[in-house]
A and B are shown apart, each in its own frame.
Chain A
Amino acid sequence: MVIAAIALISMGVFFLTAGTIGFLRFPDFYSRMHATGKCDTLGVVLSLTGLALYNLHYGLSLASILVSIKIIFIAVFWFLANPTATHALSRSAFESEVTPWTKDGRPVIEWPPK
């Protein structure tokens, strides 16, 4: 159980690292949102699942099972909430006319959108 927890936490931190590197290096807002919106969600869900597994290895008492259920509840809440926040932020950026990046500077769609 401890080895599975270490593997899950390491995978989660790998995804968080990849998301942050993409957040620093991508060229415009929409691709940065593409990096963080998915990698942060998966990284947090994997890390919290690993921490809930590690919490169970102290012994299966009622208190530790309740704390593990609470950690899993945070993971499920974050799995629902972070894509919602990403969608709302991306939509408001689209409506405030942040243009997408292209390599030669041409707009990819007709602007402003109808």
Chain B
Amino acid sequence: MDNFFLVIGLILGFLSLLALYRAIFGPTIVDRIIGVGVVGTNTLVILLLMGFIYKRIDMFVDISLLYAILNFIGVLIFAKYFVRKGVH
């Protein structure tokens, strides 16, 4: 079962790299913001998988919850302050 979690984690890490391409070379600011959001989403699942691999899920579930809340608030604040009228 640990090998299954490791393969799933590697797939999600590769998907994070693909989303990081859009976050770096995205044509508009909102593309970069949503790219960072997708990387944060994959990190949320990877942290729980790491908790199952290291057998310390009771510790990693709190870190994952923290990442979820920080990602949500971060995207909201980016959407409010980084995107202005005519700047995109």
Contact = CB atoms under 8 A, between A and B. Distances in A.
- Grouping DSSP codes into helix (H, G, I), strand (E, B) and loop, the B interface class, with mixed when no group exceeds half, is helix
B52 A54 contact: yes
Interface residues of A, number: 43
Interface in B51-77: 52, 57-58, 61-62, 64-65, 68-69, 72, 75-76
16 contacts: A16-B45, A23-B22, A23-B35, A24-B21, A32-B34, A44-B45, A54-B1, A67-B58, A70-B65, A77-B72, A78-B68, A82-B41, A82-B72, A85-B79, A92-B30, A98-B30
Contacts of B79: 85, 88-89, 91-92
A98 B83 CA distance: 10
Interface of A: 2, 6, 9, 12-13, 16-17, 19-20, 23-24, 29, 32-33, 36, 40, 44, 47-48, 51, 54-55, 63, 67, 70-71, 73-74, 77-78, 81-82, 84-85, 88-89, 91-93, 95-98
